[in-house]
Structure 1
Amino acid sequence: MATVDHRSVSRFLSERARRIPPSGIRRFFDLISGVEGVISLGVGEPDFVTPDPIREAGIRSIREGHTSYTSNYGLLELRELLSEHLAARYGVRYDPHSEILITVGVSEALDIACRAVLGRGDRILVPDPSYVAYVPAVVMADAEPVMVPLSQRYEFEMRVEFLEPLLSPEVKALLLAYPNNPTGAVMPRHELEKLAAFAEEHDLLVISDEIYDRLTYGVEHTCFPSMPGMRERTILLGGFSKSYAMTGWRVGYVCAPADLIEAMMKIHQYTIMSAPTAAQYAAIEALKSGEPYVQQMRAEYDRRRKVMVSSLNEIGLPTFEPKGAFYVFPDITPTGLSSIEFVEQLLLQQKVVAVPGDVFGPSGEGHVRMCYATSMEQIEEALERINRFVHRL
C-alpha cells in the first residue's frame, strides 16, 4: 500500500504562482463582508445599474436562442461597431475582420496581450502606482516588470525623463494606463507625443489600457494609437465595464495589427473560446444607444469628484485634482500613519473602507485610493467620518 504524503499541498505550486501576490483590494472587500454600517470607497465599480436598453438586449438575445459560441474573435457586428466607434471618436480605424478581438473583460485582454508578446528575459516598463493586475499579468507571461516611480508632484504622469534611466536591452515594451487607476491622472497630449517619440526611438511596443477613456472631466482623452506612427506598435485595450456600468457582463476588447491579434486569438481560443454571447449582444446595444447614459453617469461622477477633492483638501489630506476615472488618491502622510495603518484604523474606528496606496506599487505608499462611484449621500457621510478620524489623530 502506498504511503500517504501528508506534507502541505503547497509544494505542488509553481514558482510563477508563488510570485503572484493576492489582491490587496479584495482583502479589504472581504474584511467588510457582513459588517453593518460600513461605507465602502474601496472596490472600483460603478454604482449604476446597466441601462435598461442594454440589459434588455442581452435578455432578448437569450429569448431568441442566441446561446451558442460566437466566432473566437467575437460577433462581427460588435467588431464592426467598435471599429466605427474608435474611428469616429479618435480617428483610428481597425479592420473588424482581423484587428479586433472581443475578450472576457479587459482583464483577459491584458493577460493575452502580455502572454502573446512577452517571454522569459523580456522586460516591460510599468507605471508605479498602477492597477493591481499589471504586475501579475507580466509575471504570468514569465517576463519582468520594471517599475516606473510616479509622484503627485508631477500629477502621476509618466514622462520620458522617468523612463530613460530604466532602459536596458531587455526592455521590449511600455505599459500605459490613462486615465489611471488608482490616481485618476490623465496624460496631456504633449507628454504623450514625447512618449510616442521615445517608443519609436527605442523600438518599443506599447500596451495602452484605456478602459476609462470615456470618463474624463474637463479634458479630452487622447487615444494612444491615434498618435502619428503609433498604431502599428500599440496594443489597445478597452471595454464596456466602466463607461456603460457593465462590470458583470465581462466584455472587453483588444485592437492591434493583424499579426498581433492572431497571436492573441490563439491564446484566447484555447483558454476562453469566446466571450459570453448574451453579453456581446448587450455590448452591441451599448454602442448603438448607450451614449446618453455615458454622459449622464459621467456628469454625476464629476459632481462627486469635485466634492471629494475639495473636502479631502479641507480635511488636511492633500489631494490633486484627478481628471479621469472615478478615484481620488489623497496624500495621508500629514497623519503620520502609513497607508496600511491609515486604512485599518479608518475601518475600525469609522467603518469607512479605502485601499492602501502601496497595493498599487511602492510609489503608492503615503496615499490611499478612494472611489467615488457610490452615491453622494454615502460620499458625504464617509467624508464626515474621515474628518472625525483625521482630527482625532
Structure 2
Amino acid sequence: MKFSKRMDLFGESIFTTLANMRSERKKQGLEVIDLSIGAPNIPPTQEVMETIAKEAMKPENYLYAIKDAVDLQNTVKEWYERRYGVTIDPETEMTSLLGSQDGLAHLALTLVNEDDIVLVQDPCYPIFRDGPLLAGAKVVTMPLLKENDYLIDFDMIDEKTAQDAKYMIVSYPNNPTCGVANDEFYKKLIVFAKKYNIMVLHDNAYSELLFEGPGHSFLEFEGAKDVGIEFNSLSKTYGLAGARIGFALGNKEIIGKLKSLKSNLDYGMFLPVQKGAIKALTQDQSCVEKTRNAYKHRRDLLVNGCKSIGWDIDMPKGTMFVWAKIPDKFKDSETFVKGLFDKTGVLVVPGNAFGTQGEGYVRMALVQSDDTIEHALDMMDKSGLFK
C-alpha cells in the first residue's frame, strides 16, 4: 500500500506517546497522576446537562442539522455583545465549529495554496502548525520568549517573510506559555496585518480563564474584522469539551469560505448539542466565575507547592495550565518528563512538543482535584529530583 506523502509530516502525537506511557505504568500496577492533557474535570452545570439529555430524547432532533439554528445564531450574537461589546451579524459573520480543533484543522484549506507561508507562534498548540501543513503550506515560526512576556515581537519577523505570508495564527491567553496580551499588542497586530495584507486567526479559547481582569476579544479592537476572525470555545469555560462546541466569528469573507467548506465536510452540530450551547450561554453566568476560581485555586496550590519543594516556577496569569522551566540539572524536557514519571507517576508534557522554543520547559494541566495535586506534590518532594 502507498499512502499520502503528507503523512510523512506527522509522527505519533505526543499525547498518544504519553497515553502509552500511562497505560504501560498502570499495567505494572503503579500509580499515575496525569497532569498532561488539558481535559477539564469540571462538568457543565446541571441545567446544561439536563437540556442536552431532554433534547436527545426527541426523535426530530436526530435529523441532519445542516446549519446553525436561528436561536443559536442569535444567542451567540447576544453573547458577544454582552461579554465583549462586539456586534456580530449572525448570518454572515459567524459559524459554529465542531470544536475549535475542527476549524483549526480545516481553515487553512480555505486560505492558502500549496507553498504559501503561514506564520505560527512557537511554542504553540500543535494543531496551529498541523492545520497549515495539511494544506501544503510552509510554516514560519514566530518565537514566544519569556523576556517578551511570550508576546510576538513583530519587529523580529523578516520583511520578506511578512510580505509573502498569507495568514497568521495568534492565541492569547496562550497555550502552552500562559502568556497574556494587552491592548497595545492587539493594536500592533492589526497594524502589522494591514501593512502586509495578512489574514489573522485569533484563538480565544481561554479568555474566561484570565485571573487578573477580564479577557478580551481580538474583535473588540478597531479594524480587527478587516483582517481576520476569532475562534471561541465552550470547552473550558463551560465544561463542554466532549460536546465539541466552538465558533468562528469576524471577517465575513473568511467566514463565508469556511462555511462553504464545512457544508461539504459535515452536516452541522447535533441539534441537542446546539440546545446545550444555548443553555450554557444564557444560564446564570456565575458558573463561569466559579470555574475560573477553581483553576486559580489549583494554580496557587500547584505553583506554591512546587516552590516549597525547590522547584521555582512562574505564576501564570491565565489558562488552565502551568508553564514551568525544568530544573537546571536536567539536560532537556523529555529527560525530565521521563525521570519525573518514573520516580513519581506524575505525567506532564515536554515543552518541545509545542515547538523548538518550548525546549527546557514542561506544561502541567490543572485538571486534577486539590487532593490529587497535593498528593502529586508529596510524591515529587519524596523523589529527591528537586533537592
Per the normalisation by structure 1, the TM-score is 0.92
Residue 81 of structure 2 is aligned to residue 87 of structure 1:
yes
Q: Which residue of 1 aligns with 2:156?
A: 162
SS of residue matched to 2:325: coil
Choose the corresponding residue for 2:4, options 14, 18, 27.
14
Q: Distance in 2 between matches of 1:128 and 1:99?
A: 29
Q: Distance in 2 between matches of 1:166 and 1:243?
A: 39
- Partners of 1:101 and 1:261 within 8 A in 2: yes
- Partners of 1:54 and 1:282 within 8 A in 2: yes
SS of residue matched to 1:334: coil
Q: Distance in 2 between matches of 1:247 and 1:357?
A: 23
Residue 33 of structure 1 and its aligned partner are, at CA, apart by: 2.5
Residue 20 of structure 1 and its aligned partner are, at CA, apart by: 2.3
- Partners of 1:152 and 1:320 within 8 A in 2: no
Residue 144 of structure 1 and its aligned partner are, at CA, apart by: 1.3
Choose the corresponding residue for 2:217, options 197, 202, 223.
223
Residue 131 of structure 1 and its aligned partner are, at CA, apart by: 0.4
Residue 88 of structure 2 is aligned to residue 98 of structure 1:
no
Q: Which residue of 2 aligns with 1:232?
A: 226
- Partners of 2:43 and 2:239 within 8 A in 1: yes
Where does 1:55-94 land on structure 2 (aligned, <5 Å)?
A: 55-65=49-59, 66-72=61-67, 74-94=68-88
Residue 390 of structure 1 and its aligned partner are, at CA, apart by: 5.0
Q: Which residue of 1 aligns with 2:319?
A: 325
Residue 239 of structure 1 and its aligned partner are, at CA, apart by: 1.3
Q: Which residue of 2 aligns with 1:4?
A: none
SS of residue matched to 1:297: helix
Residue 164 of structure 1 and its aligned partner are, at CA, apart by: 4.7
Summarize deviations over 1:288-320 as a string: whole Å, max 9, x none: 115221111111111111222223334443422
- Partners of 1:46 and 1:242 within 8 A in 2: yes
Q: Which residue of 1 aligns with 2:286?
A: 292
Residue 220 of structure 1 and its aligned partner are, at CA, apart by: 2.7
Write the letter of the residue equivalent to 1:372. Answer: L
Summarize deviations over 1:56-89 as a string: whole Å, max 9, x none: 11111122332211233x2221111111111122
Residue 165 of structure 1 and its aligned partner are, at CA, apart by: 5.8
Residue 17 of structure 1 and its aligned partner are, at CA, apart by: 1.8
Q: Distance in 2 between matches of 1:324 and 1:111?
A: 25
Residue 324 of structure 2 is aligned to residue 334 of structure 1:
no
Write the letter of the residue equivalent to 1:389. Answer: S
Summarize deviations over 1:18-45 as a string: whole Å, max 9, x none: 2123321232123213714211101101
Write the letter of the residue equivalent to 2:62. Answer: T
Summarize deviations over 1:266-295 as a string: whole Å, max 9, x none: 221111121222211111110111522111
Choose the corresponding residue for 2:208, options 208, 214, 234.
214
Summarize deviations over 1:203-260 as a string: whole Å, max 9, x none: 2110001111111101331211211111121121111111001111011111133222
Q: Distance in 1 between matches of 2:330 and 2:251?
A: 49
- Partners of 2:98 and 2:246 within 8 A in 1: yes
RMSD (Å) for aligned C-alpha atoms: 1.8
- Partners of 1:335 and 1:390 within 8 A in 2: no
Give unmatched runs, 5+ long, in structure 1.
Answer: 1-8
Give unmatched runs, 5+ long, in structure 2.
Answer: none
**Residues 1:116 and 1:122: Cα distance change in structure 2 (over 3 Å):** same
Residue 372 of structure 1 and its aligned partner are, at CA, apart by: 1.0
Q: Which residue of 2 aligns with 1:304?
A: 298
- Partners of 2:190 and 2:227 within 8 A in 1: no
SS of residue matched to 1:112: helix
Summarize deviations over 1:125-155 as a string: whole Å, max 9, x none: 1111110111111111211111111122222
Q: Distance in 1 between matches of 2:115 and 2:337?
A: 37
Q: Distance in 2 between matches of 1:305 and 1:313?
A: 12
Write the letter of the residue equivalent to 1:31. Answer: M
- Partners of 2:211 and 2:296 within 8 A in 1: yes
Write the letter of the residue equivalent to 1:295. Answer: E
- Partners of 1:179 and 1:216 within 8 A in 2: yes
Q: Distance in 2 between matches of 1:176 and 1:271?
A: 25
Write the letter of the residue equivalent to 1:18. Answer: D
Which is further off, 151-160 or 369-378? 151-160
Write the letter of the residue equivalent to 2:157. Answer: L
Q: Which residue of 2 aligns with 1:5?
A: none
- Partners of 1:317 and 1:334 within 8 A in 2: no
Write the letter of the residue equivalent to 2:13. Answer: S
Choose the corresponding residue for 1:32, options 19, 22, 27.
22
Per the normalisation by structure 2, the TM-score is 0.94
Q: Which residue of 1 aligns with 2:146?
A: 152
Choose the corresponding residue for 1:107, options 101, 105, 127.
101
Which is further off, 105-114 or 39-48? 105-114
- Partners of 2:163 and 2:196 within 8 A in 1: no
SS of residue matched to 2:121: strand
Residue 51 of structure 1 and its aligned partner are, at CA, apart by: 1.5
Q: Distance in 2 between matches of 1:307 and 1:155?
A: 23
- Partners of 1:101 and 1:254 within 8 A in 2: yes
